[in-house]
């Protein structure tokens, strides 16, 4: 059965599309290209076929047309492949027409006190472990008082059965405050203040990366994303193991580099610059785009134009430019529904630790932004049911999301007229 195409597992009927005989497969089997002309199918079908005996990415081949009419992607369901994490997403744009009768989130608090002596993240406050924060006036990094990872955890020992495996998990968890005030967020901070955050991210990556193979910087913004404290901050977890998503990105980027001779995300960024339909922001050194395979409604990917493996490798000019484009992106997010836009975001770069000196040229530094809001400031996307039991699904197309974000102003809606004029000039 090796190398033979099995009976189709599913069909995507696309009205008005020319014959699939012009299509080409996007994957190979055991290093061999499938035949370029697929078996004759009725006009207007894109075919997904299974390949017996293969697992992971290789177990499905998508025979697709080189250019689908815009009507197809905007009005008809279809699936898209994520080559960075070896996943598929179901896009069902027509579902945006359905009326919403589900859960509506409560409105956000209009005001947050600038300083609360009882808030454990504020300057001078006493934390749960009895330590008193310094009166910091910039960023502040400290050990998490309730860490998920500790450096001295014991090894669970060998398993007595392959179905019951456990492994050692050691590491450290830190918290980083972005600013001494509780009533600001990154889009309301100045570009130099955001640049200070970037420098702190690079510094902690270098510090913890000297010992641990993976350093995960992430920010959960808003109660909707599980953030229990409104003070602007992020977390940094360094682990003795590569987490699952990091492992998938490692495999996918390495496989692409081996096959095509260049980093996956470098080629992807170039393609998006040419196609333009999913770009949100561009600058001299950075791109912001809604990925072709985006899952969350207004998900974005932040990419450097230059080949960069890790945050500490960014030049001073690239860091300045990153601070500027981050402020613009996060301002657009807040302006979309005129609310403090919730999201989870995080940086992914090449592994560190004892193997930091190995060849990681297939990696490209990038940041993921995953915001949950879909229709308004109070209606979110839920990842339940089909998403938990089958695969990811989205309603709004990535192209529609990018178009809406592009059209938004880069001056924050909270600013008064005078502040808006000053920011516009700046």
Q: Could you tell me how far CA 162 lies from the centroid of its own chain? A: 33
Q: Could you tell me how far CA 129 lies from the centroid of its own chain? A: 33
**How far is the first Cα of the chain from the last one, in angstroms, to the nearest whole number?**
64
CA distances 166 to 159, 244, 353, Å, are: 7, 15, 22
Q: List the beta strands (DSSP E) in 132-197.
A: 140-143, 171-177
In the chain, helix, strand, coil percent, each to 5? 30, 20, 50
The token pair at 118 is: 């009882």
**Concatenated DSSP letters of 279-341:** EEEE-SSEEEE--TT--STT-EEEEESS---SGGG--HHHHHHHHHHHHHHHHHHHHHHTS--
DSSP helix/strand/coil, 231:
coil
Report d(CA 251, CA 58) in Å as an integer.
13
Q: Could you give the residue numbers annotated as active site?
A: 233
Asked whether 7 and 1 are in contact (CB, 8 A), the reply is: no
The token pair at 305 is: 């134009």
* Sequence-separated (6 or more) residues with CB below 8 Å from residue 323: 191, 192, 194, 195, 197, 198
Q: Which of 358, 354, 352, 334 is nearest to 408 (CA)?
A: 334
The token pair at 391 is: 């695969």
């Amino acid at each position: 059965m090796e190398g033979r195409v099995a009976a189709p597992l599913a069909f995507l009927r696309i009205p008005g599309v020319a014959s699939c005989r012009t299509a080409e497969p996007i994957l190979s089997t055991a290093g061999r290209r499938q035949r370029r002309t697929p078996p004759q199918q009725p006009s207007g079908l894109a075919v997904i076929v299974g390949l017996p005996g293969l697992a992971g990415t290789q177990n499905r081949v998508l025979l697709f047309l080189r250019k689908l009419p815009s009507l197809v992607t905007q009005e008809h369901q279809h699936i898209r492949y994520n080559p960075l994490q070896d996943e598929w997403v179901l896009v069902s744009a027509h579902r945006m027409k359905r009326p919403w009768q589900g859960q509506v989130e409560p409105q956000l608090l209009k005001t947050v006190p600038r300083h609360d002596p009882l808030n454990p993240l504020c300057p001078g406050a006493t934390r749960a472990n009895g330590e008193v924060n310094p009166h910091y006036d910039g960023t502040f990094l400290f050990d998490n008082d309730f860490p998920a990872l500790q450096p001295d955890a014991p090894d669970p020992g060998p398993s007595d059965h392959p179905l019951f495996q456990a492994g050692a998990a050691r590491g450290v968890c830190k918290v980083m405050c972005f600013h001494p005030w509780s009533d600001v967020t990154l889009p309301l901070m100045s570009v130099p203040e955001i640049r200070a955050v970037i420098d702190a991210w690079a510094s902690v990556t270098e510090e913890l990366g000297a010992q641990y193979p993976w350093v995960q910087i992430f920010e959960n913004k808003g109660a909707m994303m599980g953030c229990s404290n409104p003070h602007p901050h992020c977390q940094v977890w360094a682990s003795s193991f590569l987490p699952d998503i990091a492992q998938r990105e490692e495999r996918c980027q390495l496989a692409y580099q081996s096959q095509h001779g260049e980093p996956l995300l470098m080629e992807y960024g170039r393609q998006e610059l040419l196609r333009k339909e999913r770009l949100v922001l561009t600058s001299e050194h950075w791109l912001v785009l809604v990925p072709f395979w985006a899952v969350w409604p207004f998900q974005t990917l932040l990419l450097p134009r230059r080949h960069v493996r890790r945050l500490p490798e960014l030049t001073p000019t690239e860091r300045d430019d990153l601070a500027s484009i981050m402020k613009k992106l996060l301002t657009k997010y807040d302006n979309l529904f005129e609310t403090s836009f919730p999201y989870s975001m995080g940086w992914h770069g090449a592994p560190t630790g004892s193997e930091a000196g190995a060849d990681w040229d297939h990696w490209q530094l990038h940041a993921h932004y995953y915001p949950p809001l879909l229709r308004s400031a109070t209606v979110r996307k839920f990842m339940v049911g089909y998403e938990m039991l089958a695969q990811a699904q989205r309603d709004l197309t990535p192209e529609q999301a990018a178009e809406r974000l592009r059209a938004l102003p880069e001056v924050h809606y909270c600013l008064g007229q005078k502040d808006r004029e000053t920011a516009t000039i700046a």
